[in-house]
Structure 1
Amino acid sequence: MINNDVLRSIRYMLDLGDHKVVEIARLADPAFAVEKDDVRAFLLKEDEPGYLACSDGVLAHFLDGLIVHRRGRDERLPSRPVEKRISNNVVLKKLRVAFELKDVDMHQVFADAGFPVSKPELSALFRQPGHKNFRPCGDQLLRNFLKGLTLRVRGASGSAE
């Protein structure tokens, strides 16, 4: 899935303003520089003037910052390095951590989106890429997960948390 679409979905899900997106991205690394104007450009559609592609680095910082924003920083553990390459599987893992979702919750999120996933399918998504049962997360799967998570977070009425 395109990084811009992931950022757009999460921003809508949590009802975040541009400034809050910048703050969250900096939670992962205070030295990381992304500006409000960049965020606005990331949120534009590809055919709109001023569109800017969201890099893996920006999305990785945002997702790591989202984990810190929602769960707090564990000072006992050293900071993890930010991924250089973001795949759909990594996005899924980071959202699972940020929202503290267990397997049961994950199945419910997919079911709420009208896209039920079996237990073996779900566990295969969280395996290491070299594992024999690893399964890459497709765009449709991630899109449905984001849809189900948005329903869970915003509720059926569409109100923000």
Structure 2
Amino acid sequence: MENNDILIRLRYALDLKNTEVVEIFKLGGLEFTKEEVIRILTKSNDDFDYEGETDESEGQLKINNRTLESFLNGLIVLKRGRQEPKPGQPERPEFSKESVNNILLKKLKIALSLTSEEMIDIFDMAGIRVTKGELGALLRKVGHKNYKECGDKFTRNFLKGLAIKYRG
């Protein structure tokens, strides 16, 4: 799954406006204009079956894993508030080297204050049965013996379940 698609689905699920997305990026440490956010959230012409008549320069602005992770960090700050670093802890969190899908699940769990049971219910709303053990494996750190990489299917269905939960 592309990072732009994840952001588009997340924005829809949480019913975020473009100005709120700009603010979330700012809280995550990145500056984007409203026009840039619109280009990020616009599906590229490749996604359509017909040939669009839009100018090439107006195409989609692709985001990388760090940009998506910064957005998720900003979402945590928006929903939960900024956490003061403990003594000896770095000011900014380091960017993770694990799968962007695993990071998405972890950071959404934190930002939305979800329990494991609530996350399982969200998967269930999307038609996926996930056990508590499977969910725990997805939320582990890379290198842990029970770590499991989260696939696109899980991510897509989790975002679908979020949309059902928050938008009805």
TM-score (norm 2): 0.83
Aligned to 1:146: 159
* Percentage of identical aligned residues: 44
Q: What's the secondary structure of 1:23's corresponding residue?
A: helix
The question of 1:33 aligning with 2:31 is answered: yes
For 1:15 and 1:119, locate their aligned partners in 2 and report how far apart those are by CA, in whole Å.
Answer: 28
TM-align CA RMSD: 1.8
Q: What's the secondary structure of 1:127's corresponding residue?
A: coil
Check whether the contact 2:14–2:162 (CA below 8 A) recurs between aligned residues.
no
Uncovered stretches (5+) of structure 1, i.e. residues with no partner: 157-161
Q: Summarize the alignment of residues 56-135 of structure 1 with structure 2, pairs less than 5 Å apart.
A: 56-75=65-84, 77=86, 79-83=91-95, 85=97, 87-135=100-148
Aligned to 2:3: 3
Instruction: Report which of the two structures shows the higher radius of gyration computed on alpha carbons.
Output: 2
Check whether the contact 1:57–1:82 (CA below 8 A) recurs between aligned residues.
no
When residues 35 and 28 of structure 1 are mapped into structure 2, their CA distance, relative to the original with a 3 A threshold, is same
Could you tell me how far 1:66 is from its partner in structure 2? 0.5
For 1:35 and 1:82, locate their aligned partners in 2 and report how far apart those are by CA, in whole Å.
Answer: 25
Could you tell me how far 1:76 is from its partner in structure 2? 5.8
Aligned to 1:24: 24
The question of 1:51 aligning with 2:60 is answered: yes
Could you tell me how far 1:84 is from its partner in structure 2? 5.8
Instruction: Please give the per-residue CA displacement for 1:14-62, whole angstroms capped at 9, x wherever unaligned.
Output: 2222221011111122xx2222222111112232641111122221111
Q: What's the secondary structure of 1:104's corresponding residue?
A: helix
Residue-pair matches, total: 153
When residues 107 and 52 of structure 1 are mapped into structure 2, their CA distance, relative to the original with a 3 A threshold, is same
